[in-house]
Structure 1
């Protein structure tokens, strides 16, 4: 990683001697608060390392690295960083594999070439090669995500097609890439001398990244990633396109910018490349964070700031699993870096570049809008301060419009496919027929916990705000943010002040909506820019320029916070408590490891071999679908249609009907996936055929025949009396079978329906006297609102059996049918059977 100090810092208007006293007091108060937190909660890192063997492996790993770092320190000032960096690079190659690293490098170089083509000459002249290279790579990633989002539905995606396009881009931009390579080599030669403090800071950074890489290099274990993020990559690789049914998958039309990056990498070199792409995004974040800090505060403090990020447990979980927060954080930090470094030189072309970066955030996740608001206010204020109003408003409007044009793709696509641009969110407003619109969707586990003490609670009670143990935020934010703000204000540190406004503004926009801590991660690199200033509060106020050298006290406290972060590293991992370096280095088989951790993954190869893309696999419990040759059918809320049908099925026959209606051929099941007495569990035991197993997970084959068509109603012949039927005016009979309905009575039952032709069938016996009966179906949407009614009267003019048959086509938005039969007037009628049949 290269960190620059391209621009000499402007002298502070207060000397550090005057500033230091107040900041030092805040630093001591922050440390006292941390000490109180440890005493009050009894927080212990041993709680995070529940796997003792994993803890021992981590200690051995850290000890071996310490020996390496000490040995590198003895290599001389000119070779220290080179030796340590080379060792880190070799470890990454060993952990992820040459193919994975080479594939992600191909993607990165292609993105660098794209970004440099658009804005590189301007940025190289203004910022120097390092900053220009980082920003150009971010712009290229934004272009990549936009193109992938536009072309995802087209069956053109393969390893060959992507390798060809990326290779062409690298060849076309090889002169630009060589320019950066030569510049990096020249910079390294010029700045290779490193004192022991620089070496110590660099050692902490490499240790933190190496520890992160152990988790990142493991096969994916998180259900959310296996159910969505990695699923996008495997589906694109196997089917060549991404066209899921929004009625069957809640994430069918979400903004998937990060997933497109993972997918391209996956197609080139498999799952290891996708995991390395996410790790590389963390590396890009560390480089940009270091670049931002080095601009005003020097290389050593920049390395320490990057180490603070890499050692944060929250960064661990976003990197160990294929979550999208690393990508979103990149596109929150890059606009701040561009805006602050451009300063008074910011023009229309910079506004276009800023639009690409902000659009990149929107392409990754809807949460980007929470960043746009505070950043937009800072952007507008700086433009108006340094430009004439007309020019400032022109740049602002141009950037806003271009951001909207470039970033609208996933939301426009979602609107066209589902009727809701942010599907499934805010569906009470947009009322997509594919999801419940009675209320806006939210996860009740992470709301209602807003408190003025939230930073303290996120630090010491993080298990209340995320699937984690306590300590998941790390301790640098609580310990360094206040003194960092004081130093930034006193020294007029533009980078830190803008980062604080944008990062803390994002958090302030987020927490009234949800207090889920992982969603705050995109602000963490911005906040750590401020925290880096806080480390200077521990330095003696000797009046030296702030970038001259890293004070021993600053290094000591920085090392303390990095060490605490590493000590609690697994705390954010929930299901990842073990440090499985033995798997990474090949001492344990990866397949047996992942089958023991996520048994469903062991069934995927089996069902692919048995049925391939013809399989219709229902996955009960954990949504583990990545790798299936066909689109998985989840039995949880990821599939709102099937999960609701299974929840409504109250008998084995009803469960069989759900499987038949959705053409299920195979089922993943394991103990605890559903209750043992649930109809679907009883059906599998009665009619399922075990085909394969991994651990306690079983792959069932199922075949649900329906020779005369599927009846969507239960107990249609009343063999169980009036069980499952709503009724008015019909007496509960002791004898089961046909029911006698007097005038004014009615019965009804609800059935889940889909967009296909249905047939209403009623068979009844007329008495001696005339009577009028009614056949009726009310169509309801997902929110329970009636969207249409079909009603037809029938008359009894003579005794005998009579039938009422109506062919029905449900409205497009209908999700439920209420099927009625009622006697309007006349004599009683005996109802023998009432069905709603799917032919």
Structure 2
């Protein structure tokens, strides 16, 4: 490392960030927030996987990183299921085949895969209302894509294998560390689907396609039914092919894309192979990544598409115009908030092109963008009068909602210069998480952040990533929305640390941050804080045991299907547990997701006689009731007595009750 005032100042800045992080840990006494049992679990998993990989390495004479990848891949198949993994693999190969159409002669499987996923999900979004979404339709179509593009697939596979071997050979030890870190992050994919947003909303579209082969959204019963749905459409396709939920397997595919893009993007901004593997390890260690891998939230695929779009920009080839349009369309089709990120990347692409834009290709690129991004917005406009429903209803005034913007008062801690510190150490003010659940990068590498903005090779990426990181936090300070921008920033930060401290010093600092992040991994989600992982690995029916303890409505819904697999209505009486998405069209809730029923619930609660609740239950023609006895009000109890409702099953804190159909008047 060259000596001089600038080099000394850069090194001092990097070390200042590390010192500030240690000081924050001490001042905030953050060790009191640790889940020590989960730390032990992570250490045991790391040691066991490493031991098995060493045995495999000696038995098969393969690199340690490859052996570790095989061990963790086997664990994914064991916990996520053989059929879901095969379904997602089939979807991924077909996506590579279709995505290669946009890359010309470039046999780049890493970039073709997200392009193909956007093509498949974006086109399928226009057909959701048609009853054609069956395995015997998808499998031949995906097979046809693979057969027609078999030459491109063969070349892409050969190039990917050669690239993997070369990347490992250049830095075998850090490659093994990065793969181990990815494996530890992937434990989120093992967990059954139990996060609240998934049970109340995201499972709805996949469940409808699996049961009915079509999607019939009802925004009156679920205000997010017409929200951007690319992520849920891809989940649904994999679920239809596998004939069961495939969330964990698809999340693992997104994880591989994020890792591959982070590695290559680091190389594009000046990192050698060792530094690129450090960038992958740092990304994998982020606590919020494990939380996203246990959910259907859009931030995980948005991160993959964001990195892919950045990579397409820095490659700066002529044919990347269509690829960039498709990736930006994917961002907008995942979440309207991601449109801001897409606009930032478009501005970066125009600056990076320096006037060399092929405007003749622009109409085709815009048409691709409109087709792939527009399905849910068109359906929402037709059904509600608001293309962004339920957002910005103060502008579009759909009659289904009051003319006001949706807002969550929990996440308005304030935006200021101290935000990186607060979001790191007071994470519960910005996320449903404990302190440290967002990770320590923003503080520990705060000095490196300034260095990355100052250095020529990292300045553009660091600036763009900073904007993408901070802009979503301006209207509402919700940490999950900043995650894609944080991951995009990591390659620039790693290069800045390596340039400032040298390879050995940078490895010590960055691996220390990785270890610290992994220590606080469970703080990012309650799923890892509780004993879900131990129940899953220590019980033959681990998923069932986890459902009974932490998501009892899923156990009761399975029991309901055994008793009544028809279309009778199921009403969830607890507004805090509207977990009926997997019931497809049968489910009803009285939460804020269904504004009319929410108003009826408020009025019924005010009627102590129970008549209001009895009328509500009859009006929705409910045959089954999901409830939590501890939250049952007096008016609800009176209504259940008057209706002659009977408890038929119980699981954990929840119960399933039956209601006899109303007798018809003579």
**TM-score, scaled relative to structure 2:** 0.92
Contact 1:480-1:534 within 8 A present in 2 as well: no
Name the counterpart of 2:615: 657
Q: 2:513 aligns with which of 534, 556, 561?
A: 561
Q: 1:421 aligns with which of 387, 390, 393?
A: 387
Distance 1:22 1:577, change over 3 A: same
Name the counterpart of 1:38: 25
CA separation in 1, counterparts of 2:123 and 2:60? 47
Give the secondary structure class of the aligned counterpart of 1:700.
strand
Give the secondary structure class of the aligned counterpart of 1:263.
helix
CA separation in 1, counterparts of 2:258 and 2:433? 23
Name the counterpart of 1:411: 377
Structure ranking higher in strand proportion: 1
Residues 580-626 of structure 1, C-alpha deviations (whole Å, 9 max, x = no match): 44454463412122212111111102222333232211113312124
Q: Does 1:683 align with 2:606?
A: no
CA separation in 1, counterparts of 2:652 and 2:165? 54
Q: Does 1:258 align with 2:231?
A: yes
Distance 1:270 1:420, change over 3 A: same
Gaps of 5+ in 2: none
What displacement does 1:370 show?
1.6
CA separation in 2, counterparts of 1:282 and 1:150? 27
Residues 539-561 of structure 1, C-alpha deviations (whole Å, 9 max, x = no match): 34xxxxxxxxxx22221112111
Residues 235-284 of structure 1, C-alpha deviations (whole Å, 9 max, x = no match): 21011111122212112211111111111111122555222101210221
Contact 1:655-1:683 within 8 A present in 2 as well: yes
CA separation in 2, counterparts of 1:103 and 1:19? 53
Distance 1:394 1:29, change over 3 A: farther
Give the secondary structure class of the aligned counterpart of 2:203.
helix
Kindly name which structure, 1 or 2, has the bigger radius of gyration based on alpha carbons. 1
CA separation in 2, counterparts of 1:441 and 1:467? 19
CA separation in 2, counterparts of 1:324 and 1:426? 20
1:588-627 matches, within 5 Å, as 588-589=540-541, 590-621=543-574, 622-627=577-582
Name the counterpart of 2:10: 23
Residues 317-351 of structure 1, C-alpha deviations (whole Å, 9 max, x = no match): 11111211111112212111101111xxx43x422
Name the counterpart of 1:467: 432
Distance 1:704 1:269, change over 3 A: closer
Q: Does 1:519 align with 2:484?
A: no
Distance 1:281 1:359, change over 3 A: same
Q: Does 1:510 align with 2:472?
A: yes
Q: 2:590 aligns with which of 628, 635, 641?
A: 635
Name the counterpart of 1:577: 529
Name the counterpart of 1:136: 112
Contact 2:231-2:334 within 8 A present in 1 as well: yes
What displacement does 1:394 show?
6.2
Q: Does 1:269 align with 2:225?
A: no
CA separation in 2, counterparts of 1:182 and 1:477? 38
Contact 2:138-2:241 within 8 A present in 1 as well: yes
Distance 1:76 1:618, change over 3 A: closer
Residues 5-43 of structure 1, C-alpha deviations (whole Å, 9 max, x = no match): xxxxxxxxx968675322211101111221221122111
Q: 1:223 aligns with which of 189, 192, 196?
A: 196
What displacement does 1:93 show?
2.7
Contact 2:452-2:493 within 8 A present in 1 as well: no
Gaps of 5+ in 1: 1-13, 541-550, 710-839
Q: 1:333 aligns with which of 299, 307, 311?
A: 307
Residues 601-656 of structure 1, C-alpha deviations (whole Å, 9 max, x = no match): 11102222333232211113312124326431112111111111111222211111
1:295-374 matches, within 5 Å, as 295=268, 296-342=270-316, 346-347=317-318, 349-374=319-344
Name the counterpart of 1:837: none
Higher RCO, Cα 8 Å, sep 6+: 2
What displacement does 1:362 show?
0.7
Q: Does 1:152 align with 2:131?
A: no
Name the counterpart of 1:498: 460
Residues 413-468 of structure 1, C-alpha deviations (whole Å, 9 max, x = no match): 1101111111111111111111122x211111112522221111111111101111
What displacement does 1:664 show?
1.5
Contact 1:603-1:699 within 8 A present in 2 as well: yes
Residue-pair matches, total: 658
Q: 1:447 aligns with which of 394, 412, 415?
A: 412
1:477-496 matches, within 5 Å, as 477-487=442-452, 489-490=454-455, 492-493=456-457, 496=458
What displacement does 1:55 show?
4.3
Residues 457-512 of structure 1, C-alpha deviations (whole Å, 9 max, x = no match): 1111111011110101111232225324424632x21xx43332332212332122
Q: 2:401 aligns with which of 435, 451, 473?
A: 435
CA separation in 1, counterparts of 2:72 and 2:657? 45
Residues 774-800 of structure 1, C-alpha deviations (whole Å, 9 max, x = no match): xxxxxxxxxxxxxxxxxxxxxxxxxxx
Distance 1:708 1:201, change over 3 A: same
Contact 1:150-1:409 within 8 A present in 2 as well: yes
CA RMSD, 1 decimal: 2.6
Contact 2:413-2:429 within 8 A present in 1 as well: no
Structure ranking higher in helix proportion: 2
